[in-house]
Amino acid sequence: MNKMMSIDIKHHLTDEILMGYSAGTLPEAFNLMVATHVSLCDACRAQLAACDAVGGVLLDEHDILNTQMQPDSFAATIAMIEQGVPTTKAPIAKKPSILPSPLQDYIGGDLSEIKWRPIGMGVKQAILPTSKQASARLLMIPAGAAMPDHGHHGLEMTMVLQGAFQDDDGYFGLGDVDIADSDLEHTPMADIHEDCICLAVSDAPLRFKGILPRIMQSFIRI
């Protein structure tokens, strides 16, 4: 995707999440969220660079990290270098898409490749394959419709890829991330103008307030 005409992102990732990405301690689904958001957001890209710079300074100056290498290690490394460059995969040319490229990698293509499954009330989802500590999925909420009322056990982040939604925290447009923690209950409602597509990542299953959605939950892995 070409760099978007500057989009006006108002809801950003937190320092904590960016630092976790930089340190390499987040679950895969959260890394996917960071990579996707940073692809669109210059502010968070710069913030992430600053977190990396903190890691660099610590690596450079932190004494406890100074261990011993094996005696033959330098020779072994030079030998590896002299074995030559391993064949690297040629980067696949990507078609222009409304989706940032890290997300295209997980979908295996553009919006049209998403295998949506209905989960009730007009809402559709597609689960993306990530490691188990957290889950990632795409959600499509029809224009003007609401997601089922739900609360959270863990941390959930929802980023808008198309359209917009509104919840108790405000209005979320393209690129905005809504961050909900354990005790928040909210009802996102898609903007009337367009179906809303979001990337949602969570480190715990959602719990719905109504009984029916709760039964459905176990079937559809929301």
Partner 1 sequence: MLKRKKKKFDPIQHFNRKFYMLARPQNVLPTERSVNFQTAATRLVAVGSERVKNVNKRNLWISHVHRIRDDADKAAFAELYAHFAPRVKGFLINSGADGSIAEECAQEVMVTLWRKAHLFDPSRASVATWIFTIARNRKIDILRKQRRPEPEDLTWGPEEEPDQTDVLALQQETEILSKALTILPAAQRELIEQAYFGDLSHSEIAKKTGLPLGTIKSRIRLALERLRQTMK
Chain residues 191-210 in contact with partner 1, contact rule CB under 8 A: none
User: Which CB sits closer to partner 1, 185 or 194?
Assistant: 185
Separation in Å, CA 144 to CA 84, 135, 215: 57, 26, 25
User: Judging by DSSP bridges, how do beta strands 135-141 and 165-167 pair with one another?
Assistant: unpaired
Separation in Å, CA 40 to CA 10, 43, 59, 160, 194: 12, 9, 29, 11, 20
User: Which CB sits closer to partner 1, 35 or 111?
Assistant: 35
- In angstroms, rounded to a whole number, what is the distance separating the alpha carbons of residues 44 and 33? 12
User: Which CB sits closer to partner 1, 39 or 125?
Assistant: 39
Binding residues with partner 1: total (CB under 8 A): 78
Residue 199 pairs with which residues in a beta bridge? 138, 159
Please report how close the Cβ of residue 64 comes to partner 1 at its closest, in angstroms.
Answer: 7
What residues from 37 to 96 belong to the interface with partner 1 (CB under 8 A)?
38-39, 42-43, 45-62, 64-70, 73-74, 76-78, 80-81, 85
Long-range contact set of residues 37-42: C-beta below 8 Å, sequence gap at least 24: 37/12, 37/13, 37/159, 37/175, 37/177, 38/13, 39/1, 39/100, 39/101, 39/102, 40/4, 40/7, 40/9, 40/100, 40/174, 40/175, 41/9, 41/12, 41/13, 41/175, 42/6
140 binds partner 1 (CB under 8 A): no
Select the residue interacting with partner 1 from 108, 109, 170, 210 (CB under 8 A): 170
User: Which CB sits closer to partner 1, 79 or 121?
Assistant: 79
Tokens 């320092």 -> residue: 15
Select the residue interacting with partner 1 from 183, 211, 218, 219 (CB under 8 A): 183
- In angstroms, rounded to a whole number, what is the distance separating the alpha carbons of residues 25 and 23? 6
Stretch that binds partner 1, among 111-119, 138-146, 177-185, 191-199 (CB under 8 A): 177-185
Please report how close the Cβ of residue 68 comes to partner 1 at its closest, in angstroms.
Answer: 6
What residues from 97 to 116 belong to the interface with partner 1 (CB under 8 A)?
100-102, 105-106
Please report how close the Cβ of residue 20 comes to partner 1 at its closest, in angstroms.
Answer: 7
What residues from 3 to 42 belong to the interface with partner 1 (CB under 8 A)?
3, 9-12, 14-16, 18-20, 22-28, 31-32, 34-36, 38-39, 42
User: Which CB sits closer to partner 1, 11 or 150?
Assistant: 11
